[in-house]
Structures are given as structure tokens and as C-alpha cells.
Amino acid sequence: MTILSATADSHSERASTRSCARALPWKIRFFESFPWTKLATDRDTFESEVRAAIVDSIDRGVPAHYAAQEDGLIIGYGSGGSRWWCVHPYHEDGSEPFWHDEASGFAGPSWPWAVSVWIEPKDTAEIVDTQELTIGALNQAVRMWKTEKRGSYFIGAAAYAHWLEWLRGIESKAVEVSKRGMQGNGWCFEVLIQSRRIASSWLNKIADDAGAARDPLRSAAGSFAALVDVCMEDLDSPWDLACAPERVEEWTREKRRAQIARIESAQGLDGTAVELIEEALALLG
């Protein structure tokens, strides 16, 4: 068995994947087998090609990504490449490697929707300018806030409205408590906090070289940081408030009301941050 040392860090649709790949400094080869698309070749040939690419990547010392709904890493292989040694956040929180064909849920054992193999660093001429990426990311944040829905997913301000309507519906008994709903609620609450924490740090970093846009970017970073503080007040984990399904008995009315209040505050802080980002974009030209 050949093994690399690595750590696990979501499924995205084709267009989004290609757009993100353009921003990366490495060339990537994608092997896609989404349930809703047809393979360009026969199944056996496709799987053999994927396994060979993974073996080559591991032998070069580079892990490969695999994903269905959520991403994991292939960090080794066995039996000539017919088995994959992996880490995944949905298997022991990413702390313990495992054989893909012995896992369950998002971590395995079904064939992934996509596998990505990192080939080599791009030539300098192929790397996208940092300023272009920055402006693109800021524009995307504004567009997403104002877009009501993408496919079956609510986005931005509309997502907040839908989320709050669901939580208030539980309080009024118009909505039944379900394990699936609790899992989604907790997951969204954690992702909200983690993503705004990252956004705050990134905005503070890019503000240093943003010229006239520095102040609104710093203020947007502060709004995101305040969102994190509001949502995490007196909590060790977001899941202490937005309980996981196995803790349904602990998910009291008091906790739901507290979460509703925090999400309402987060909605306002997010809206303020977007307004400041729009101001910064105008200054960046």
C-alpha cells in the first residue's frame, strides 16, 4: 500500500468547478461521473483511466480529491490502485484514514461523482492576475446576496428569509421537527460562522493593497467578525445551539429562539457587509 500524509478539507456543479479551476495556480484534470450526466466512454474504460491517474498522482506525492456531495482526499492506494486510502470530514471528522470501499455515507463506498487530479503548476502566463480574482470574488459575493435561488438552493438574503421562516414555523408548530431539518439547520449555522470568519480575515488581508477601497473593506471585515461574535456568544460549538438530530431532546424552544435572534442579527450584518463591498467595488473601478 502506498500512502501520503494529508488532511481532509463539496460537490459543485460543472460550471462552478471550471471557474474555480481557472483561479488555481495548478493544472487539474477532472473525471466527472455525475448521476445526471452521461459518460463520454464506457464505464470500465472510464474507471480504469481514473484509477491510473490516481496511482500516478500518489506516486508523484500529490493527493487527489474525490467527491459526491462532500469532498474528501485520496492519500494512498492498494491492490495496484483498485482500492483507495482516504480521509474525509464525514469519517471520524477527518482524523482517521480509511479504505474507500469500506466507508459509508458521503465518504464512500459508491463511485464518486467527481475525481480531481492535480497535474503540475501552471506557467506564469496562465495564472490569473490577483486583482482580477479579488474583484471577481467581491462581485460574486454581491451577486449571490441578490440572487434568490440557484437550482433548488436559496441564496443570500433569500436564504436567510427561508431559514428564519422554517425556524419560526417550528415555533408556531406549522413545521414538524425532522432529523433532516435539524442536520441542515446545524450545518448551515456552522458554515455561516466559519465562512464569515474566513471572509473577515481575507478582507482585512486584501484591504492593505486596496488603495481608496481600504476603509470599506476593513469595515466589511468588521461586520463579518461581528456576525461571528454574535452567533458564537457563550458557545463552544455552533452545534451547542443548533443541535444535531441525535440531540433532539436538547433542542429546546429556548435554544431555537436564541438561534432565531442570532440569525436575525447575522442577516443585518451580512447585508451591511455587502453594501460596504459594493462601495469598495465602486472605488476599485
Kindly report, residue by residue over 159-192, the tens digit of the pLDDT. 999 999 999 999 899 999 898 899 999 999 999 9
The yes-or-no verdict on residue 57 having pLDDT over 90 is yes
Query: How many Cα atoms sit within 13 Å of 248 on the Cβ side?
Result: 11
Contact 86, 75 (CB under 8 A): yes
- Model confidence at 18, in pLDDT bands (50, 70, 90)? low
Give me the mean pLDDT over the 208-219 stretch: 95
- 3-class secondary-structure state, position 78: strand
The yes-or-no verdict on residue 7 having pLDDT over 60 is no
Give me the mean pLDDT over the 215-234 stretch: 98
- 3-class secondary-structure state, position 31: strand
The yes-or-no verdict on residue 6 having pLDDT over 50 is no
SS3 of 48-71:
HHHHHHHHHHHHCCCCEEEECCCE
Write down the mean pLDDT value for the chain. Answer: 91
Taking residue 44's Cβ as centre, other Cβ atoms within 10 Å add up to 8
The yes-or-no verdict on residue 235 having pLDDT over 80 is yes
Only one residue has cell 443570500, namely 156
- Model confidence at 46, in pLDDT bands (50, 70, 90)? very high
- Cα–Cα distance for residue pair 119/129, rounded to 1 Å: 21
- pTM here? 0.80
* Residue % of the chain over a pLDDT of 90: 78
Q: What per-residue confidence (pLDDT) applies to 8?
A: 36
- Model confidence at 2, in pLDDT bands (50, 70, 90)? very low
CA distances, 127 to each of 17, 22, 26, 104 (Å): 16, 8, 9, 38
Summarize pLDDT for 125-154 with one digit per residue, the tens: 888 888 889 999 999 999 999 999 998 899
Q: Strand runs (DSSP E) across 131-276, as ranges?
A: 149-150, 153-154
Written as nine digits, the cell of 230 is: 454574535
Helices 130-146 and 253-284 pack at an angle, to 10 degrees, of: 130
- Model confidence at 56, in pLDDT bands (50, 70, 90)? very high
Q: What per-residue confidence (pLDDT) applies to 16?
A: 52
Summarize pLDDT for 86-135 with one digit per residue, the tens: 999 989 989 999 999 999 999 999 999 999 999 999 998 888 888 889 99
* Residue % of the chain over a pLDDT of 70: 93
- Cα–Cα distance for residue pair 200/221, rounded to 1 Å: 4
- Model confidence at 17, in pLDDT bands (50, 70, 90)? low
Q: What per-residue confidence (pLDDT) applies to 93?
A: 87
Query: How many Cα atoms sit within 13 Å of 125 on the Cβ side?
Result: 0
The yes-or-no verdict on residue 228 having pLDDT over 90 is yes
Give me the mean pLDDT over the 11-24 stretch: 61
- Cα–Cα distance for residue pair 112/105, rounded to 1 Å: 11
